[in-house]
Chain A
Amino acid sequence: MLVKSERIELNKRRTKTAGWIEKFGVYIMILVLLILGTLISNKFLTIDNLANVVHAVALLGIVAVGVTFVTYSGHFADMSVPGIIALSGMVAVDMLRYGLVVSLASGLVTGLMVGLINAFVVGKLRANPIIWTLAVAFVINGVVRWLYRGEQIYPDLKAGEKLATAFVNLARINIGGAVPITVVVFLVMVIIGQLLLTKTKFGVQLKLIGSSYEVARMTGVNVTGMVGLAFILSALAASIGGILLTSLVKIGAYYNGVGYDFRAVTAIVLGGVSLAGGKGNMIGVLGGVVVIGLLNNILTLLGVGTFSQTIVQGLVFILVVWFNTYSLRKLGKADG
């Protein structure tokens, strides 16, 4: 039998543990994977290998950071992300002939405009986010294929050798000769995102909206603006990712970015952001993205074939989320 104060103490401790698991649970997973990897191969725990892992998932991470705002605000996911990636990349290539700055700016603006439309329809008119962004993805896909007649476009044919080289090298810059730019952009975005979520009015209000939209509205939060902003940030991140991806593959094409919608959600959820909204943080998303990279790395080092890798990825995903939900519920912080 517990005395009242003891019970309160225990509850406090439980809540604390729960909060900890909620915030950083994914890092337990990373630790497990790191140990596993070290046991499997002596080349695993080298800077080169780990750097490769992060490099390979950096683009996914950039996109995931943006979608996190949408998920955090309780609006599930932005399914128009693949469309934005393809569109902003193609526009950037197309505008390259007017100079690199114009190209990048127009790529970003295109993404922003799609984000604005999403912001208006979901934020203002309260359309269902998944379905609306899905419709947007369909429309973008159709428009892009129609405009470019199903062709892919190349920077050097659009703008000549010099500008093309500048554009193509964008994703190949190494900061300090060692750190790829995609990784730098990703980490910077994580930090900015984390600051936005924790240190600004926007972040606090977004959390409130994610926890309960109605309560947020009643307390006078500008829900329309905040939700809209989340979608705009998501589109912005996707267009940054889209431009970098296009620069990497040297092709503007309507199929660039396929699959990024679901992969981003996978990373976000692994990172402890609840689809119900209002829970999680960017550091967790960073972890979620790294887990995806590490898992692939270890499975390939083990020599597991593609088919079995697919199964393992699916199962690990379910198990991790299950564990997360289960432990949170046991600890008295039910999810959703």
Chain B
Amino acid sequence: MGKKITGVLLVVLMAALLLLLFGCGGKQTQPSPGSQTGQGEKKSSNLEESIKAEGKVAQLKSDDGQPLLPPLEKKEVPPRPADPSKLPEDDAMHWYDMEYSGWGVTKVNIPQSPKDGAKGKKVILIVHGDHPWTTAYIRGAKKVADAYGMELKVMSPNWNPDVQAQMVDQAIGARPDMILMIPVDAKMSVQLFRKINQAGIPVIASNTHPESEAMKYVIAWTGPDDWGQFRMLARKFAELMHYEGGYAIIQHNPGGSPFFARTYAPITELKKIAPKMELLDKQAPGFEAEKTMQVVSDWLTRFGNKLKGIILSDDSAQAIGAVEAIKNANRQDIILVAAGNSKVGMDLVKEGKLQAITYQTAEGDGAAAVKAAADWFNGHDVEPVRYLPMHIITKDDVDKFMPAQW
């Protein structure tokens, strides 16, 4: 008898759990602004219609109210030193191949554009993994694809290079008109882009900047200029620090290119513009608030008043951890700057707890990749490297970027 009751109780509980969950989160649908292009007007050619759509695309906005496709930037590219790896790590030129990857590469076996318009083209987008950022990225990509009437299919390997390799093979097997890919890793992507290229499918790389070697095989790369942005952030940081005092860096997770860009762009930049500033330490506690809190607390103990500012690679969990640590130590004088503009980060900027963050439009990132693809189908010239615009958000203009994209 007792057993039966327990059994029934358990089933009821499980059902309740499921109901609860469905009630809570199941009903968030996002209206997609793109309208389906009607089938009726077949008279004008596909290309004309696609080019007509460009006007509509230019009007699109991202969820934070900013234009979805702001004008893209170009970058001054200095000549390459003879052997960058011989230079010291705090010399900007040591990182030349990472920072200026993709410039001056001889392209191999790039297919010719059919020049018959973007409308109706089948495009597969392989992202690097699931994350709220990625959700916003895909949203941006879909907005543009819908506006052009392109068919966009998304694959996500959950940050696993093994699975991404499988997905590339799968995508090739589906014979789409184009493949867009955010590589899980800059170096691992070389063979993947090479495979797509050899299969004769045009490919555009996005977001994570692949190795120069990989840039041979892609039509173009679009994405944020992580190095440039962190140099810009470093300049703002130096200004806030009055060009003096000790600072420390909370790094990105080791392995990817942001680990280097977000560590060495500020180090090399600050060495140049603010020689009086001193790097005290750098640590990579991951994107975890508690661990970051511990590292920053330890720094405050170790360096005391010598520590005047901290550069963070992430403005959510890492920023929360750092803010808590300096609050506990009553050291609110410490300058904090960070990467990205997540909601948490922007709230912190608004509250005055974070002094500056970089603007990194996730939707615009996705949109730029699809836009480059559409431009190629429409027969426009596509530059090999397209950077998203850079901006530093401070308390003065943070409201312009609300609500956050993720």
B-contacting residues of A (Cβ < 8 Å)? Answer: 41, 43-44, 46, 48-49, 52-53, 55-57, 59-60, 90-91, 94-95, 106, 110, 113, 116-117, 120, 143, 145, 147-154, 156-157, 172, 180, 245, 248-251, 253, 259, 293, 296-297, 300-301, 303, 305-307
Contacts and interface: CB of A to CB of B under 8 A. Distances in A.
A249 B317 contact: yes
B328 A55 contact: yes
B329 A251 contact: no
B40 interface: no
Contacts, number: 127
Contacts of A296: 294-295, 298
Contact of A253 (B25, B132, B302): B132
B28 to A, nearest CB: 7
A48 B329 contact: yes
B301 A147 contact: no
28 contacts: A43-B301, A46-B301, A48-B329, A49-B297, A55-B293, A55-B328, A56-B290, A56-B291, A56-B294, A56-B297, A94-B25, A106-B20, A113-B14, A113-B16, A116-B10, A147-B21, A148-B25, A151-B132, A154-B344, A249-B289, A249-B344, A293-B294, A296-B298, A297-B294, A300-B295, A301-B298, A306-B251, A306-B283
B13 interface: yes
Contacts of A143: 21
Contacts of A116: 10, 13
Contact of A41 (B295, B302, B329): B302
A118 B290 CA distance: 28
Given A113-B17, A300-B295, A306-B283, 9 more contacts: A91-B21, A94-B25, A106-B20, A151-B406, A245-B290, A249-B344, A296-B295, A305-B282, A307-B254
B135 A250 contact: no
The range of chain B's interface size is 35 or more
A154 B343 CA distance: 9
Interface in B3-22: 6, 10, 13-14, 16-17, 20-22
A95 B24 contact: yes
B46 interface: no
Given A56-B297, A151-B406, A300 B283 contact: yes
B134 interface: yes
B175 interface: no
Interface in B328-383: 328-329, 343-344, 347
Interface string B24-50: 111010000000000000000000000
